[in-house]
Amino acid sequence: MLWLVIAAVSFALIVLLHTIFSGISPKTLIAETGLADTTKVTSAVASSIPMNFDVPKSFQAKTIKDATVPGAEKVIALTFDDGPWPQTTEQILDTLKKENVKATFYMVGQPLKSFPEIGKKVLADGHMIANHTLHHWYKKMSPLVAQREIEDTAKIIKEVLGVETAYFRPPGGVLTNGLVAYAHKQNQSVNMWSVDSGDSRPKRPSPEAMVKTILAEATPGGIVLMHDGGGSHDNTAKAVPEIIAQLRARGYKFVTMTELLEMASATPETPTAKALPSSAIN
């Protein structure tokens, strides 16, 4: 008899929590799931609560440009910088949703504050959120300014999206202007890239050129750099469907940075990024 009481109380608590977070009435929830099938209820509760993006311990305070995955499994991470941005971000999201691909978006604080609804759509579609500073500065910064660039963006991400992230990418790939030093002190994962699409250059490459570059440089455990914000990136939006199709044809599966590092944390080797010139544009 006691176990029935415990089960009833537990189920009531689950129903209450789900009601709070999802807005679905207890009556509807019980009618749809039934008392006996509580696994569906707990799963629904978990999916309704925003998750934080934590870094595996072996990659905390590390800078990486790619990752070694078990058995050289053919996985690759698509990443997008400088958004959220009108039109481009939404076009890319539409393609990712259609193709059932999850990506990682390195958001700049200012556009996230300006276009919060687009940022919310990125998260709602199941993509990973990462920090790309407040102003996207390349210049040398004092420890206090570097701290503010990262922490103010983290605050905006928390206020707008309700999540926290320990993944960071320095603008321009600059490793020596104070930002990376601060991120490492916070045990964050600093994420560079192994494949540069070239879409941030003043003369944007054509969609066909982007596809060709990415296919030529793709490797298992790689990180692909693209942009959805910081200006017009129509060519990037146009290239994404073919990038996905061609990589899939070569046997690749797509993962977020969290998934990539979780896979890589099972291997003893922790790769580190090669220093990029301060003139690198991102």
Catalytic residue among 127, 132, 136, 227: 227
CA-CA distance, 196 to 181, in Å (whole number)?
A: 23
Nearest Cα to Cα of residue 216 among 197, 233, 235: 197
The verdict on whether 81 is a catalytic residue reads: yes
Give the CA dihedral 226, 98, 189, 186, nearest 10 degrees. Answer: 110
Catalytic residue among 81, 82, 196, 228: 81
Instruction: Decide if 90 contacts 80 (C-beta within 8 A).
Output: no
Q: Which residue has the tokens 């008899």?
A: 1
Element (H, E) at 189: strand 189-191
Count of CB atoms situated within 10 Å of the CB of 124: 11
Instruction: Decide if 237 contacts 199 (C-beta within 8 A).
Output: no
Q: Which residues are catalytic?
A: 81, 227
